[in-house]
Amino acid sequence: MPSSFLLAGTHSGCGKTTISLGIMAALRQMGYEVQPFKCGPDFIDPTLHGVVCDKISRNLDLRMCGPDFVRQVFAGHPAQVRVVEGVMGLFDGGEASAASLAKALDIPVILVVDVRSAAESVAAVVKGFSELDPEVRLLGVIFNRIGSPRHLELVQGAVEKYCTVPVLGYLPRDVEFSIPERHLGLHMGEEGALSAETISRLAETILHYVDVGGLLAASTDGADQVIASVMPPTPVPGPKKRLAVARDEAFCFYYQDNFDLLAQAGVELVFFSPLHDRDLPADIKAVYLGGGYPELFGAMLAANTTMRTALKKWSEQGGIMYAECGGFMYLSQGIVNHDGGYHEMVGVFPVQARMSKGLRSLGYREATLVNDSLWGGRGDVVRGHEFHYSEIDAMPVAISRVYQLQDGRAEGYQLRNTLGGYLHLHFGGTPGAVAWFAGKLGEDNQK
């Protein structure tokens, strides 16, 4: 029978992602079909899941999308084993926490506990996590960074004495798996962050130290416990409206379910590369520039003058263009890096983007539209997430702000039919925004 479970941690940095990838790899090596999911707005971990499982990993975000859409996505992607990787600590994030997601999906939780620099006290941690919310079903625990056989004996003995949660296994401290990191987190799966050798070692290590069979037996699904309370939209018939989507090493932060919602609304996605292509795709109705790492590829983006010229001309002639975070930076006059180096960009917006060594903004955002825009009419609401290490110069007042954020900030800068800003939007909770956007593509906006 199929199984579903969520892997959570006691805190960020406890080894949750490594163990999640290892369990996925072990299950694949055992011959199981594994469908991965990620709790929260993360763009990077799902790409690593995809490399291991050979399936697109789906984001499940209660805050941006609401429980109906989250359940719909989970139920719509069945497999022999469905594995959800949590976010931060199990209870961190309130309604967006891994605990809230486990309850919304009615699936059990496996807790990863970093036991470095602790022994019997780990039992108090496990007991607290297991009893804090009785509605969260804790299936078992996996210890990470066990230092010696004696260390394991002390930790496991205390947990078995004081807790009712089964111990499913552990990873030794001297087993390390290195995944390259940078300022926004781990490297993407497409960048070769996980080699075939690393995946194989992860699988073998998990199979040696963790009771994967017991884990599967304990997490067996009953009847399909997750019933979608909102039916997926019926695809719009008729000719497709072509949307050029920037997708390459520099622009790689997208939610797959946004793509699916656009496709269901009658939009054909045509991918192109601002790094490598010389011009925009033919016969398009709009351009979508997602987030990513333009600051790491500044020299290459600057050197591709024909693409920069094409995008600027597209905007100046009234073409529809939407850019978020890294894509927004690309539409600025240029990017100033940490070392003061400067790379000229497209030049649609009359500001520069400046990289900072510290995080400039992080968190969920709800944006009320103060004017009609690409994603809805005045008074409509869209939801997203903000996470960036750059900031822009003061935007001229002549350029419209179409978002009013809940913290009072004005964001979402619209010039002609070009809309840019730092928000990464997810339309799972506001599908009407996608229908509105698709309708805009049917209008004659080109001069």
3-state helix, strand, coil in the chain (%, to 5): 30, 30, 40
pLDDT band for position 445 (50/70/90)? low
In this prediction, residues 435-440 reach a mean pLDDT of 95
Pairwise pLDDT comparison (223 vs 199), residue with the higher score: 199
Give the confidence band of 182 by pLDDT, cuts at 50, 70, 90. very low
Among 288, 280, 271, 337, CA closest to 304 = 280
Percent of the chain with pLDDT over 70: 91
Pick from 142, 147, 140, 141: nearest CA to 119: 147
pLDDT band for position 137 (50/70/90)?
very high
DSSP states along 171-230: EETT------EETTEEPPGGGTSS-HHHHHHHHHHHHHHB-HHHHHHHTB--S-----SS
∠ CA 215-189-7, nearest 5°, is: 25
Residue 388: which pLDDT band, with cuts at 50, 70 and 90?
Answer: confident
Is residue 87 within 8 Å of 98, Cβ to Cβ? Answer: yes
pLDDT in tens, 279-322: 999 999 999 999 999 999 999 999 999 999 999 999 999 999 99
Q: Which of 39, 53, 65, 325 is catalytic?
A: 325
Euclidean distance between CA atoms 431 and 420, whole angstroms: 20
**Average pLDDT, integer, range 319-339:** 94
Q: Residue 189 pLDDT > 50, yes or no? A: no
SS (H, E, C) 304-361: CHHHHHHHHHHHHCCCEEEEECHHHHHCCCEEECCCCCEEECCCCCCCEEEECCCCCE
The pLDDT value given to residue 184: 44
The pLDDT of 363-387, averaged and rounded, is 94
Look up residue 377 and give its two tokens: 């009419």
| Average pLDDT taken over every residue of the chain | 91
pLDDT digits (tens, 9 = 90+) for 12-21: 999 999 999 9
Among the ranges given (126-135, 180-189, 328-337), the one the predictor scored with the smallest mean pLDDT: 180-189
Residue 373: the pLDDT is 93
Contacts of 278 (CB under 8 A, 6+ apart): 304, 306, 307
Q: H helices within 57-148, ranges in order?
A: 62-75, 98-105, 122-131
Whether 28 shows a pLDDT value over 60: the answer reads yes
Domains of the chain, start order:
3-218 (3.40.50.300), 241-441 (3.40.50.880)
Query: Cα separation of 135 and 118, whole Å?
Result: 28
* CA torsion angle 188 189 190 194 (round to 10): 120
Query: What CA–CA distances, in Å, run from 199 to 21, 22, 168, 192?
Result: 8, 7, 21, 11
Range of lowest pLDDT (221-230, 380-389, 413-422, 433-442) = 221-230
Q: Rounded CA gap, 104 and 277, in Å?
A: 43
Placement of tokens 């229908």 in the chain: 435
Residue 14 falls in the annotated catalytic set:
no
| 47-51, 64-68, 140-144, 226-230: range with lowest mean pLDDT | 226-230
Of 370, 369, 384, 373, nearest to 440 by C-alpha is 373
Q: What is the pLDDT of residue 9?
A: 97
C-alpha span between 75 and 218 (Å, rounded): 20
Which is nearest to 52 in space by CA: 154, 196, 267, 206?
A: 196
Alpha-carbon distance of 121 to 151, in angstroms, equals 12
Confidence of residue 339 (pLDDT cuts 50, 70, 90): confident
pLDDT digits (tens, 9 = 90+) for 49-63: 999 999 999 999 999
Q: How far apart are CA 262 and CA 440, in angstroms?
A: 12
CB 324 within 8 A of CB 291: yes
Which residue, among 48, 317, 302, has the nearest Cα to 195 in the 3D structure? 48
Q: pLDDT band for position 4 (50/70/90)?
A: very high
On whether the CB atoms of residues 244 and 323 are closer than 8 A, the answer is no
What is the pLDDT averaged over residues 340-366? 90
Within 10 angstroms of residue 119's Cβ, the number of other Cβ atoms is 16
pLDDT at 202: 92
How many Cβ atoms sit within 10 Å of the Cβ of residue 88?
Answer: 20
Burial zone of 390 (CB within 10 Å; 0-12 exposed, 13-18 middle, 19+ buried): buried
Task: Kindly indicate the confidence band of residue 223, based on its pLDDT and cuts at 50, 70 and 90.
Answer: very low
pLDDT over 90 for what percent of the chain? Answer: 81
